[in-house]
Structure 1
Amino acid sequence: MKQKGIAWLYLYLFAGVSDMIMIVEGHQDYRFFTKPLIMLALAVYFLTTTAVIKNSLLRKCVGAALLFSLAGDVLLLFPSLFLYGLGAFLIALIGYTIAFKLTQNHQINLRNINFLKTFFYNLPIYIFAALLYFLVNDHLGQMKVPVVLYILAMVLMVSIARERFKRTNMLSFIQVFVGASLFMVSDSILALDLFFSPIASADILIMGTYILAQLLIVMGIRSHLVHSPTAKQ
């Protein structure tokens, strides 16, 4: 799996850099070409390098997350379709959350879970999300319910990514956890820019963290597969 599909990965990076250049130069019309190409390239890269788990739930979940991320990227190009874009990314978060749970080398046993310890491990994530909600709450209006649901989905995704510590190889854990965290940072910048106060260079910060986040998540899942050749989740 190491070299197969590498051209798609280069295309992903090229599209990402091109999209940020279009943002800096103010060529918003060209983003209708550069932005969709980002996730399209990453989706094809993932699907062409994971034939070993063809028809598996893991591949379907990640593939769905990537495709709904692509849909969300396109929808967010149209301000009037923001809510639909949010919905697409919500499904993407759910897909990733399931994938993170599947790429853990353990059997789920509720009797062995220390909920208090888990709570304290995840506390920084909860505090970050609570602070975000506190800042945007007064400006959400009719968007309050979908935004709250989205924040909860983000918290769950990052928490499950953290849960993978010592349940996969260290490279996979770091890539997925950092990627999931950057995904949350990217969405938080977007929320603050829209519902709290305009942020200088917000679009660059959002896309920069988002592009790196998606790449790290995909590479982290592949790292789990590379080091766990018998994994057929």
Structure 2
Amino acid sequence: MLTITDKQFAFIFSCLLSAELICGSIASLATFHYITKPSLLISLLIYFYTQSKSLNTTTRLITLLALGCSLLGDVFLMFDDRFAIYFILGLLSFLLAHVFYSIVFLKNRNVNRNAFGLSLILLLYALGFFYLLKNSLGHLLIPVIIYMIVILAMVITSYLRSGKLSQLSFILVFIGALLFAISDSILALNKFYMPIHFSALFIMLTYGLAQYLIVLGLLKQR
């Protein structure tokens, strides 16, 4: 069940996400994009910090680190078209965010849950995806491979929570993790394979929803 606070924040976050989708897609509003994009993670940080006081201290701290790294990644990627190093820094920031999320998910894993089927599907997906990108990655080949492994591990660890916590918490986090992987996939295809129409819109929509669902799902494991 969503509390009144949850519903109020859902409205606020949907407004912020809508503003980012508009400002990130319309050239004449691009300046506001530097405000609307970081506002998403800032709002999630505040929301999680104020609502997570009943959670395990370690879970709370590591989740805040994941959100903080995601915020840094957002900021770095806003400038990756100006300085190539910012893309590397953004990649590293999100890699750390995925690692922190994976740690949080593993803290509540169901030891009786088998993820072999999901792992096989994700492996086939990763191999096909890598086949498309391998010729255009250049010096980023190894970093991108590492990143792919980490984000797929994050999805798998989110699945391993099934049966250990409430069904609502599991579903929210698992869908959020899948959307995160989809967002990163669209970003990689657009950058390394071929331009995708309205890529910024699809990337931020899936990314914003991913972060929101993960945070809400973790709060609902109380």
SS in 2 for 1:224: coil
Structure 2 CA distance, aligned partners of 1:48 and 1:155? 30
AA at the equivalent of 2:165 = T
Deviation of 1:118 after TM superposition, in Å, equals 3.3
Letter in 1 for 2:65: A
Please give the alpha-carbon distance, in whole angstroms, between the structure 2 residues aligned to 1:44 and 1:33. Answer: 16
| 8 Å CA contact 1:13, 1:38 repeated in 2 | no
Q: TM-score of the superposition, structure 1-length normalised?
A: 0.87
Displacement of 1:9: 4.5
Partner residue of 1:216?
213
Tell me the TM-score normalised to structure 2 length.
Answer: 0.91
What pairs up with 1:152-231 in 2 under 5 angstroms?
Answer: 152-225=149-222
Instruction: State yes or no: 1:93 paired with 2:98.
Output: yes
Letter in 2 for 1:21: I
Could you say which residue in structure 2 is the equivalent of 1:74?
Answer: 75
Report the Cα distance in structure 2 between the residues aligned to 1:118 and 1:5, rounded to whole angstroms: 31
| Alpha-carbon shift at residue 8 of structure 1 (Å) | 4.8
Aligned partner letter, 1:138: N
**Superimposed CA distance per residue, residues 45-70 of structure 1 (whole angstroms, 9 cap, x where no aligned partner):** 0010011136x110011101111111
> Is 1:138 paired with 2:169?
no
Contact in 1 for aligned 2:115/2:159 (Cα 8 Å): no
The separation in 2 between residues aligned to 1:23 and 1:165, in whole angstroms, is 35
> Per-residue deviation at 1:6?
6.0
The SS at the match of 1:165 is: coil
Gaps of 5+ in 2: none
Report the RMSD for the aligned CA atoms in angstroms: 1.9
Q: Runs of 4 or more off by more than 6 Å in structure 1?
A: none
Name structure 1 gaps, 5 residues minimum: 226-233
Contact 1:103 1:221 (8 Å CA) reproduced: no
Deviations 1:104-151 (A, max 9, x none): 3x5x5xxx78xxx53233211111222211111110001111111110
* Alpha-carbon distance in 1 for matches of 2:108, 2:14: 25
Q: Does 1:42 align with 2:44?
A: yes
The range that moved more, 182-191 or 168-177, is: 168-177
The alpha carbon displacement at 1:38 in A equals 0.6
Report the Cα distance in structure 1 between the residues aligned to 2:115 and 2:212, rounded to whole angstroms. Answer: 27
Number of aligned residue pairs: 216
The answer to whether the 8 Å contact 2:67/2:97 transfers is yes
C-alpha displacement at 1:163, in angstroms?
Answer: 1.4
Q: Which one of the candidate residues 81, 88, 101 is aligned to 1:83?
A: 88
Aligned with 1:28 (options 12, 27, 30): 30
Q: Which residue of 1 aligns with 2:107?
A: 102
Q: Secondary structure at the match of 1:168?
A: coil
Cα distance in 1, alignment partners of residues 209 and 62 from structure 2 = 20
> Which whole-Å CA distance do the structure 1 matches of 2:6 and 2:178 have between them?
26
Structure 1 pair 23–121 and aligned structure 2 pair: CA distance change class (3 A) = closer
**SS of residue in 1 equivalent to 2:177:** helix
More off after superposition, 59-68 vs 95-104? 95-104
Say which of 144, 149, 171 aligns to 2:146: 149
Separation in 2, partners of 1:193, 1:177: 25
